[in-house]
A and B are shown apart, each in its own frame.
Chain A
Amino acid sequence: MTESHAKYLIVGASHAGREALAAIRMHDPEGRLVMLSGEKHLPYSPTILPYVVSGRSLPERTALAGAEWFAENRAELVLDARVTGVDPAARAVRLADGRRWTYDRLLLATGAEPVLPPVEGLERVRHHVLRTLDDALALRRHAATARRAVVLGAGLVGLHAAETLAEAGLDVAVVEMRPHVLAEYFDPRASALIRETFERHGIRMLMGRRLERAAGTEPCRLGLDDGTELEADLLLVAAGVRPATAMLAGGPIATDRGILVDPRMRTNAEGVWAAGDVAQADGFLSGRPRVNGTLPEAVEQGRIAGMDMAGDADLVPYGGGLPLNTYGFFGRHAVAVGAAATPEGEGVEVHTDEAGGYCRIVLKDNRLIGLAAIDRLVDGGILWRLIQRRTDLAPVRDRFLSHPLETARALMSQGWR
């Protein structure tokens, strides 16, 4: 058994890990910095994978950071190093192949992994998931020969893949157990606009249906709870993800849905931080711990974790996570920031405007708490900060409701210049 030691050990090589690495190097130019990746590929973003399936991104050009970047940052990348155990008392991690790394400070940024819903027969039928580059390449290869596809789940991954498969000429059906697509981001009206676009492009949208049985291979036969029977040459399971915490099972690091962290991204174990899709930090609006698996949050959390690991005094603790995403579909563009799906009542004011695109603004006490837009130009980054800073919109309220883009830009400009 070989042993190695790093002052900073980062497990995981996507956005949170990369951002933490850069933040550490901003403060500590010397300490040995090692990133372990369970992958055989250079670091990439899971967000790029649907574009690899569609062919828009070439698999060999997905790297977020190459050898040059690691050399510039005087950091080492160890590929094919899957962590299977963490021992905070010994400050050590164990790898699948028996190797062991010890550390002074450890960041767990292992991301998330696809969930397989408990459906009879599903484990035994041939199916795809989409979380790794290898998954994307396998799906792309299979799509070239398949004729009929079924996508289980109408979240971002499922919808994106459904669009890609339809554009590649397959007959596509999407099965979603909830009544709406992208329900965590959009209100029912916005969801309906998105769903209708999919239907117009010939995709069957089977909403509020649950998959009950799966059997057979090429075609695979699928039975839904309302009696519908589907046949699929290609089955993609995109029914959600869960934080990749298996390596912590039975250990002392506290988890709920994800690894519980404080506003400095510290876990309950001395010398161990967590960030990104694997972490469960406080939500901005609820104040309760939630997993907020979006790319911008991974960046934010990774930076905070890295700064804290390196002892950077300029650290501003995490202000709390907000739902935040952009979504492009069939040439249209949607953005959702904050609690944009909050139903009317519940102490909030909702303003909906469908002239020239869709825009739904949710205010509470004249402060923005959420905004969703489809085919309407808004600056998600500015809106995010208006929510986080609890900016009082009372002086510009009417203008903000009629011209959210310009008014938000003016507010920010007054703030920075």
Chain B
Amino acid sequence: MAAQDTIRFIPERCDGCGDCMKACSKAKGGASRVSIVAGRDKSWEMALCRQCGDPKCVANCPAGALDKHGGTGIVGWSAELCVDCHLCTLGCAYGGIAFDPAAGHVGKCDLCDGAPACVPACGKGALEHLSAAARLHQAHAAREDMFVPGLSACQGCNSELLIRHTMRRIGRDSIVAAPPGCIPGMGTVGYNGQTGTKVPIFHPLLTNTAAMLGGIKRQYERKGRDVTVVALAGDGGAVDVGFQSLSGAAERGERVLFICVDNEGYMNTGMQASGSTTFGSWTSTTPVGEVGRGKSTDGKYLPQLMMGHGCAYVATASTAFLDDYHAKLDKALEASRAGFAYLHVHAPCPTGWRFPAAMTTEVCRRQVESNFVTLWEFTPAGGLRFTRGVEHPRPVTDYVRMIGKYKHLSPADLERIQASVDRRVETLQGFQRRSAAE
């Protein structure tokens, strides 16, 4: 189910003034759909339709007057079909649909056609209109797709989604480098003299991607042309074989956007391990048998190393949180005008990691929910900042259990993975504390 728009309530900012309710009441010509009520200890609480994914108000309607819209996600109400029985109000746990005595029927939030009146009415910033993935998809669908149709990524691979989103955003004035890996393998660099993109793309060596891009960018700068140069690399082309040229370009502050799409191994050549492959993983070079128990060492955590380079911008991202990714892509693009920008995006691989192709987004989400993957960004001025809280993670086994490459792990192995996840989070939290202090 696609993520959809919602209104977020930030109670710490709310002073209970009621301006949101007045604005809603005015916009709707009746009772306010948003309700601010007193909570504990002089705090404020909110009741508002959550536009539920599986709305009980709809299920409770005997008249077919309520309906969940598949595209916008809005639970809509029909005056014509409603019989005023109010059974919908018995389904709602949020106080999101209630009788409006002035109007004589039930009322509920419809997000005002995408521009909720309550949000700008709040002078304290306690209400936020969150436009989520569905809106992103729609917005980006209107932009030009820079890839040909029919890229041949494996079923369930999120890299194609990622690169199409990325290049729609970056647009035509760009040059793409796709070093050996799944991304050129799926057809982006083309065949037989034709490319798979509408922008110039080239296929550098694993070892020289960042160096070549840096040079190209300098040449265009010399000619006075504003061109974005982008690397769409795998972890082999960044964490492993590509590392020295990446490190050098970052150190020199080349004006490059380098995106590492990390599937934790050489998945297009037969699932060999890379420096990014995590402890315990089965790969064809870290097999599981009488002796081997998968990879015996931890993976190298490149985003932290890139932070150590003092890049203009470093961030991690997950395709289960596309709005977060887009916000970071915007910042990375801006940063790459002045220095080196590095994005590290996780790409669970259904083929190589052995999980059902339909589960990729769930796997991505679970990685983040368990802190196996953390979402954060870094700038030299602001330091490290988590963009999603890490305080209440699921146990890492909730994630590991979904993945075939970890199937053989013993309880002791799982404890080790949990410990290394916890240690990394602590390390990153240390960076964040230091940033906040400075």
Contact = CB atoms under 8 A, between A and B. Distances in A.
7 contacts: A62-B64, A295-B60, A296-B60, A326-B85, A377-B101, A409-B47, A410-B37
Contact of A324 (B90, B94, B98): B90
Interface stretch (A137-145, A220-228, A380-388): A380-388
A406 B210 CA distance: 59
Given A380-B89, A410-B45, A417-B11, A19 B59 contact: yes
Given A296-B60, A413-B46, A47 B35 contact: no
Contacts of A416: 50, 93-94
Contacts of B101: 377
B213 to A, nearest CB: 44
Contacts of B35: 406, 409
Given A62-B63, A326-B90, A381-B56, A408 B46 contact: no
A-B pairs, top 9 by smallest CB distance, nearest first, are A45-B62, A413-B45, A47-B62, A326-B86, A381-B92, A409-B47, A410-B45, A406-B37, A380-B90
B392 interface: no
Contacts of A324: 90
B81 interface: yes
B93 to A, nearest CB: 5
Contacts of A335: 86, 89-90
Interface in A366-414: 377, 379-382, 384-385, 395-396, 405-410, 412-414
Contact of B95 (A57, A379, A417): A379
A417 B47 contact: no
Interface residues of B, number: 33
B7 to A, nearest CB: 11
Nearest to A296: B90
B99 interface: yes
A385 B93 contact: yes
Contacts of B39: 410, 413-414
B38 interface: yes
A325 B84 CA distance: 13
Interface in A321-348: 324-326, 328, 333, 335, 337
A409 B99 contact: no
B299 interface: no
A51 interface: yes
Contacts of A46: 62
Given A333-B86, A382-B95, A412-B94, A48 B63 contact: yes
B87 A412 contact: no
A337 B87 CA distance: 12
A48 B81 CA distance: 11
A64 interface: yes
B223 interface: no
B47 A381 contact: no
Contacts of A61: 64, 81
B202 interface: no
B9 interface: yes
Interface of A: 15, 19, 45-48, 51, 56-57, 61-64, 295-296, 299, 303, 324-326, 328, 333, 335, 337, 377, 379-382, 384-385, 395-396, 405-410, 412-414, 416-417
Nearest to A399: B38
A299 B56 contact: yes
B91 interface: yes
A57 B59 contact: no
A401 to B, nearest CB: 15
B83 interface: yes
Nearest to B84: A328
A417 B9 contact: yes
Contacts of B47: 379, 409, 412-413
A384 B90 CA distance: 7
Interface string B83-126: 11111011111110011010000000000000000000000000
Given A385-B93, A406-B37, A414-B39, A47 B85 contact: yes
Contacts of B85: 47, 51, 326, 328
B40 interface: yes
A380 B50 CA distance: 17
A414 B40 contact: yes
Contacts of A328: 84-86
Contact of B92 (A57, A382, A410): A382
Nearest to A44: B62
Contacts of B59: 15, 19, 299, 303
B64 A408 contact: no
A416 B52 CA distance: 13
Given A335-B89, A337-B90, 10 more contacts: A47-B87, A62-B64, A64-B62, A64-B64, A296-B91, A303-B59, A335-B90, A379-B95, A381-B90, A414-B45
A256 B132 CA distance: 50
Given A63-B64, A410-B37, A410-B45, A57 B83 contact: yes
